Structure 1
Amino acid sequence: MRYFRIKEDREAGYTGDVDAAHKWKLPGVFGCPACKATWGDNSRAYPSVDLTPVASLANFEKARAEPIEEYERLRALVLPYLPPGAVLEPGSALGPLVGNAQGRFGPLVSPNPWWLLIQREALEKLQSEDLRGLKGCRTQLRFRQRNSPELLELELLPLGRAHPDCLPPDRKPPCPRCGRFGLTLPKPLLLDAATLPNHLDVFRLEDFSTVIVCTERFVDACQRLGLDGVAFHPLPTPMVST
């Protein structure tokens, strides 16, 4: 099986623009007692999550950094509402995308490298191809135009890791308290084939969550159905880790 990274296709000629954020978010961590880092990363997003039953929703509405004890308290409140396979980290985004959109959109849309939006008709076509794990979630986007499309956000679970050969040999393990990995995205990026899921055709990497990966089955279906708007970049998958 071959794998590809999904990115915006700037040559497709679409003018669509999305200015939005997810409705809720976990705070980042301020001065982790284990690694001393202050950080948060909103590239992990679970748009299907509904936090309305949670008390004190205001705690999840503003991006900020908190002491790790407060982050862990809020994280525990969110855990029961996550989809199976979800993994949280400081700054994780939750709930639907809320904001404004305008312009002409393709069937597939990647407003930034870690979001993948799709028009409903395109999603239905892909689901009819028996692609695995395609979960479209409603957005709350306001369009400044008539005849606006219905854009859904694909919920992407974090699975699969970078191959050790593309990572620094002196790298440290993730922080045991806050989970911070602390590495920049390697170039070139190699995938560890032994860690890749066999039940999903599109997902995000667990260790580099800004990277959206799909299988050749997904690519073939999009090309056969004429679904454009994104580009597919091959990712090597060495079979033996060192």
Structure 2
Amino acid sequence: MRYYELAPIFDASATRWRWNLDAKRRWGLPGTECPRCHAAPLAIALSYPSVDLSGLPEEREYRKARFSPWDEYVRLRDRVLPLLPSGAVVEPGIGMGPLVGRVRGRPSPIAMDVAWHFFAQPEGVERLLAAGLRGIDPVPTETKSARDVPPLLELELQLGGDYVPECRPVLADEPCLVCGFQPRSDSLVDAEWLDASAMPAADVFRFRWNPAMTVASERFVEVLRSMGDTGIQVKELQVGRPAEAGAPL
């Protein structure tokens, strides 16, 4: 199976779609700093649009982006853990709930505004599901647009995939005992190869080592290309093991 990285086309001359999204996530965890290792990671691309915090007594505490003391962060984090999807990665700054805001212009039936947002209109969802693609989980946004623009749905993508062992970033020996953070270096190899045996049971997903990267199978890309100009560019990724493929390590 071949895999591809998906990203929006920002060159206005390369696509006929002219649109933008001015919206923010309804809820989110605050940023914080670990009292032991002083790490302060902040999730940018991790979001769970299907999560509904409206039933929590503390719901308003999740509405404003801010930096909080560690104890407050832990309290808020632990309250939402039962509401998150199975296998969710939880870090300071993760977003939850629908995007709320305004769409200007007209998105394509399948659309991206940044590399970690993936959208579809009802027509696009129907095309993806009709092709039998896996991992298609559309969630309604709460965005406003012109009357003749179809509703915008957001695909909630799972995390998955891995590099082959030779290409994985080097991690610290042990994670922090308080926050679990492990510093890592960048990959030291010339090429980064994905591990074919570690791909999830989904045709589109976020890459585990870099949640800002959206990865799609060749089955997904085939459907995407059949729709013509969507304003999304595809770049083939290297999959396998470098030694087996004859590539230098």
Q: Conserved in 2, the CA contact under 8 Å of 1:89 and 1:179?
A: no
Residue 193 of structure 1, aligned match among 192, 196, 209: 196
Query: Within the alignment, does 1:45 sit opposite 2:47 as a pair?
Result: yes
Query: Within the alignment, does 1:8 sit opposite 2:8 as a pair?
Result: yes
Query: Within the alignment, does 1:26 sit opposite 2:29 as a pair?
Result: yes
Q: Deviations over 1:78-133 (max 9, x none)?
A: 11111222221111110000111101211222111111111111111110111011
> Helix, strand or coil for the counterpart of 1:156?
coil
Counterparts of 1:28 and 1:188 in 2: how far apart (Å)? 33
Q: Conserved in 2, the CA contact under 8 Å of 1:38 and 1:65?
A: no
Query: Within the alignment, does 1:158 sit opposite 2:169 as a pair?
Result: no
> What is aligned with 1:85?
87
- Count residues with an aligned counterpart: 238
Distance 1:61-1:214 versus aligned 2 partners, 3 A rule: same
Q: Conserved in 2, the CA contact under 8 Å of 1:161 and 1:208?
A: no
RMSD, aligned α-carbons: 2.3
- The Cα shift of 1:175 comes to 4.2
> What is aligned with 2:233?
231
Counterparts of 1:86 and 1:235 in 2: how far apart (Å)? 24
Q: Conserved in 1, the CA contact under 8 Å of 2:5 and 2:237?
A: yes
- The Cα shift of 1:67 comes to 2.4
Residues 175-190 of structure 1 correspond to what in structure 2 (within 5 A)? Answer: 175-180=176-181, 182=183, 189-190=192-193
Counterparts of 1:92 and 1:196 in 2: how far apart (Å)? 23
Counterparts of 2:84 and 2:191 in 1: how far apart (Å)? 32
Q: Deviations over 1:119-172 (max 9, x none)?
A: 1111111101110110000001122x3312211000011112234444555x42
With normalisation by structure 2, the TM-score equals 0.86
- The Cα shift of 1:208 comes to 1.0
Residue 220 of structure 1, aligned match among 211, 219, 222: 222
Counterparts of 2:177 and 2:234 in 1: how far apart (Å)? 35
Residues 165-176 of structure 1 correspond to what in structure 2 (within 5 A)? Answer: 165-167=166-168, 169=170, 171-172=171-172, 175-176=176-177
Answer with 182-191 or 220-229: which moved more.
182-191
> Percent of pairs identical after alignment?
37
> What is aligned with 2:133?
131
Answer with 6-15 or 19-28: which moved more.
6-15
Unaligned runs of 5+ in 1: none
Distance 1:219-1:176 versus aligned 2 partners, 3 A rule: farther
Counterparts of 2:228 and 2:21 in 1: how far apart (Å)? 23
Unaligned runs of 5+ in 2: 244-248
- The Cα shift of 1:35 comes to 2.5
Counterparts of 1:184 and 1:54 in 2: how far apart (Å)? 39
Query: Within the alignment, does 1:148 sit opposite 2:149 as a pair?
Result: yes
Counterparts of 1:83 and 1:128 in 2: how far apart (Å)? 25
- The Cα shift of 1:16 comes to 0.5
> What code does the residue aligned with 1:3 have?
Y
Residue 68 of structure 2, aligned match among 61, 66, 82: 66
Distance 1:224-1:148 versus aligned 2 partners, 3 A rule: closer
> What code does the residue aligned with 1:210 have?
A
Q: Deviations over 1:33-83 (max 9, x none)?
A: 232122311311110111111111121011112222222211111111112
Counterparts of 1:36 and 1:73 in 2: how far apart (Å)? 18
Which structure has the greater CA radius of gyration?
2
Counterparts of 1:107 and 1:184 in 2: how far apart (Å)? 38
With normalisation by structure 1, the TM-score equals 0.88
> Helix, strand or coil for the counterpart of 2:73?
helix
